[in-house]
């Protein structure tokens, strides 16, 4: 079950990073 939590964390980081990238552009 822990891998599912890590998956959500990674997904969240990707969304945040992609959002910051769009703002920078």
Q: How far apart are CA 6 and CA 17, in angstroms?
A: 16
User: Which pLDDT value is given to residue 7?
Assistant: 96
Quick one: pLDDT at residue 11? Answer: 94
pLDDT score at 4: 96
Residue found under tokens 């822990």: 2
Q: Give the pLDDT score at 25.
A: 61
Each residue's pLDDT tens digit in the chain (25 positions)? 899 999 999 999 998 888 877 765 6
C-alpha–C-alpha distance, residues 8 and 10, integer Å: 5
What is the reported pLDDT for 21? 73
The pair of structure tokens assigned to 22 is 């769009």
């Amino acid at each position: 079950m822990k891998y599912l939590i890590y998956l959500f964390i990674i997904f969240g980081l990707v969304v945040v990073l992609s959002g910051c990238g769009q703002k920078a552009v």
